[in-house]
Chains A and B, each alone.
Chain A
């Protein structure tokens, strides 16, 4: 051991333990940084989770409530049967949804309801538009407009006068842009004169004093825009027709009302006090989402005349906000007012049933074979590799498999009716869930101590008896937990279902009865309906109801997971 004779190569330092050296302080600082980085990473991720959940809850919960107009709905025989006399169920079935229902029953009922409540429809609308016009003029400094509009015989006359003045100003701007100074002066004076004639003396003076070559100064006054806008606003009330009135409420495509009448023709001629959903765009106004947004920034399709009426209805207590029960029973529809997740819940339940039966039976059987009976050879090794890989195959590949099976079966003559059935969807999801269940079951079987198997075999049980009588019951809680987790995963899978046509199955059969369907009928499912809602044309549906549907789905998922946790806690056995 002469190697050890090398003292001095490493100098022994004498230093006090009680004081930290600068180097150690620096090293600890580096450590603190790592610690903080880790802490911030987790905080960031948890914040993301919080924001995610908050964005769902804060949008999804309010969307579960719906504004409804309380209307005296009169099933007017005059509308339903223009020829007079009784109408048969069959005749009702052929009435045009648009003219007969939307334009007919709903509009006239809404009108009479409003009038009964003491709301002057035309007056309310034109007052709001007049106020709008005055506001526009005031903003441009054209004061005293209310007297001018009041002085005109009709709002239309006032609109014409204002429009003419606006044109005069525009002509003046154009002329002052040109090279001809005389023409510019003439046009300017004409504009000033027009303003003066209307009664805007101050504005007229201002226009008259503008340098004829300075068209920009005239444009800057904003008179032209204000006058044109005001004229436009004053013309609006005349265009407020039945269509505008009825589009406050959801009166389009009321197939449901027609079906109700077909089933119950006695309703014709009666009046029913009922809540009719407010149009989904108007809902945004009611929920205050658009408060503080100027008219110009309003989304397209908004008519402030409608909003004036809505305000009046709120004042008259004709609008209520109630829970959207029908969301849980209705089928999916393009119209946010009546859309729902009823068949989707049923379809998902059917599919989970298929997954449960198929993947539990086959998964457990496969696990028992691999864990207990399989000889260790190439074949079983190959099965193991296959299962491990299936667990990591992207879900869309399973969807492609489903689509290929679908196309092949269709080619083979099964007809397109198998597209989007719960059975096909369930089978595809089962294949995806199989590896999860196999892995969980094998772990559960492994956890049963070999002593139990030895004991059973020792008293003369056959291997099959040992497995089915002793191991399987002891492994059952673990298998169950794995199955529930697998089903929870399958419940949220979207891509494979889209590919086998669940998103398009919104057939007539589904529309007529919310809970129809079976394993062999076209189905809807929660994730695909969430997808459809998220692609809807109306922002309130995309941002509101889609979140409500997600909320329902997440509640189901959490319930399943909590069930799994409870089972695990309750039956957990330590050997």
Chain B
């Protein structure tokens, strides 16, 4: 029977049950004399649907998620400590401290567990495809049979080479997975049936189905609105936990004031140097320098252009001109940043190099390349925010100034802009936060050195930024949390998050205050 109780089959059953529940609930409700019912028949029907599907589907989802975790823990439990796969050889142990041995064996164990799990799923797939029977597999011997080749030929994806240790543990784990994979669907199915029966039996002329249904709906609405909090909490947790372990390992101040960034691939917990320090130099200063330098250039481009554009559009341009220019600016704002990055790389960079010469600008990637293009990207952002802010300045102030005999320009410069200043500064702060967090432009156009020492003062020189490093380390086959360099990247993101968060809160407060003033 186990073979039939799978999650897809159970999902189908739950859906069918819910549909049946709708039909039956409706029929039962329709059989009441109409005057005596509190709720309409379809509300009774929905009540049955919710009671049938909601708890059981929730269990399915949770089970799918936690079954993987449980299986992993189980694999770890059944892996014997003395298994040759998870022990360092005597030769490898030489010259290592207890702690270092522990850490390295921990890494071996993690790899072993991952290998077992991929082997287990490969074996499942191999059997399911009909390439072998369980009995065949029980007779396999990793030392003689080319198991990995055999499985790969069968179209299975596999990790490292297969050992007998892996094979035996994998068999135990498969047993466990089968059991877990059967119990979960049964529980959800039982829940569905129970919900179905109870809900149907509750239907009566007096039963307030509408209230119950609306309670289900409200519950979902509240759950949905906590998503924002969940997301923030998840981000905070994702950034804080690895960052804290990085700070503990490497030292907070070593990171914050370090003048060099040169990751060397050190493993967490095992400093490679004799004095207990890491070979990796993971200093924040050169990276934040690059980030701030580019952001500064970008703002120097974007703020004057954006402000002038906003002033022109809101105070001088004809209605026709506005109706053409505004959508054009919106196009500029809608272009994905990677497009800007590539444009900077292949058009702006070579152009700048041709203008200033190769001695000043050895590479086409540089602070200016990224900064100028990022500035252009920010222009519509600043101009549309400023435009809103300028338009929020009451007309009476304009009239007051014009009625004294001020020219349009004097009104703008001496009355409107000062009045709109808090809002404009808020817009600029938001733009700065964007510039600091911008990724694709700098990844493509700022430089891609992996080792940097100190700061680069030349605006036409290549720099490395916080976001560039994050992308460089986490793109590709990042292996998880076991490398100090990966942890360092989380610390970078942590700092980046708090810088932008502070800027955003500041900007929000400024804009809110400004709005209060004229509301």
Taking beta carbons and an 8 Å cutoff, which residues of A are in contact with B? 27-28, 30-32, 34-35, 37-42, 44-46, 48-49, 51-52, 55-56, 361-363, 365-366, 368-370, 373-374, 380, 382-383, 386-390, 392-401, 403-405, 407, 409-417, 431, 434-435, 438, 462, 464, 488-489, 491-495, 498-499, 501, 503-504, 527, 530-531, 534, 542-543, 546-547, 550, 553-554, 557-558, 561
Contacts and interface: CB of A to CB of B under 8 A. Distances in A.
Contacts of B226: 383
B474 A34 contact: no
11 contacts: A365-B225, A394-B467, A399-B470, A400-B239, A414-B68, A488-B334, A493-B336, A494-B338, A530-B338, A534-B345, A554-B339
A45 B309 contact: yes
A481 to B, nearest CB: 13
Closest 3 CB pairs of A and B: A394-B437, A413-B72, A492-B336
B421 interface: no
Interface of B: 68-69, 71-73, 75, 110, 113-114, 117-118, 121, 157, 210, 214, 217-218, 220-229, 231-232, 234-235, 237-239, 242, 304-306, 308-309, 311-313, 316, 325, 328-329, 331-332, 334-343, 345-347, 376, 379-380, 407-410, 412-413, 430, 433-434, 436-440, 443-444, 467, 470-471, 474-478, 480-481, 489-490, 493, 496-497, 500-501, 504-505, 508
Contacts of B501: 389, 393
A499 to B, nearest CB: 5
Contacts of B73: 413
A401 B225 contact: no
A13 to B, nearest CB: 13
Contacts of B430: 392
A34 B347 contact: no
Given A41-B309, A499-B475, A382 B229 contact: yes
A11 B497 CA distance: 61
Contact of B229 (A374, A383, A561): A383
A395 B439 contact: yes
A365 B228 CA distance: 12
Contact of A499 (B110, B306, B311, B474): B474
Nearest to B433: A392
A236 to B, nearest CB: 32
Contacts of A399: 470, 474
A411 B480 contact: yes
B474 A403 contact: yes
A418 to B, nearest CB: 10
Given A495-B471, A543-B346, A369 B72 contact: no
A542 B234 CA distance: 37
A387 B238 CA distance: 18
A492 B339 contact: yes
A38 B309 contact: yes
A403 B339 contact: no
Nearest to A31: B409
B305 A394 contact: no
B334 A550 contact: no
Given A41-B308, A45-B309, A404 B490 contact: yes
A10 B1 CA distance: 104
B225 A394 contact: no
Contacts of B493: 396-397, 400
Best-surrounded residue of A42, A434, A503 (most CB of chain B within 10 A): A42
Contacts of B313: 38, 42
A462 B312 CA distance: 50
A494 B438 CA distance: 11
B227 A400 contact: no
Given A397-B235, A431-B231, A504-B476, A368 B221 contact: yes
Given A411-B480, A464-B218, A45 B332 contact: yes
Nearest to A59: B346
Contact of A405 (B229, B238, B413, B438): B238
Contact of A38 (B232, B308, B342): B308
Contacts of B496: 394, 396-397
Contact of B210 (A44, A368, A401, A462): A462
Contacts of A362: 224, 227
A398 B334 CA distance: 19
A495 B311 CA distance: 33
Contacts of A547: 342
B476 A393 contact: no
A335 B381 CA distance: 38
Nearest to A53: B331
A412 B69 contact: yes
Given A41-B312, A373-B218, 19 more contacts: A30-B407, A30-B410, A35-B316, A42-B309, A49-B331, A49-B332, A365-B223, A369-B224, A380-B225, A393-B235, A394-B497, A395-B439, A396-B471, A404-B238, A415-B117, A416-B118, A498-B471, A499-B470, A547-B342
Contact of B505 (A361, A389, A498): A389
A59 B226 CA distance: 47
Given A494-B338, A495-B439, A553-B336, A51 B347 contact: yes
A443 to B, nearest CB: 14
A409 B237 CA distance: 14
Contacts of A392: 430, 433-434, 500, 504
Contact of A546 (B117, B218, B342, B439): B342
Contacts of A386: 228-229, 231-232
B42 to A, nearest CB: 12
A392 B68 CA distance: 34
Given A396-B439, A400-B239, A366 B221 contact: yes
A369 B235 contact: no
Given A52-B335, A396-B493, A403 B478 contact: yes
Given A361-B224, A397-B497, A530-B338, A495 B440 contact: yes
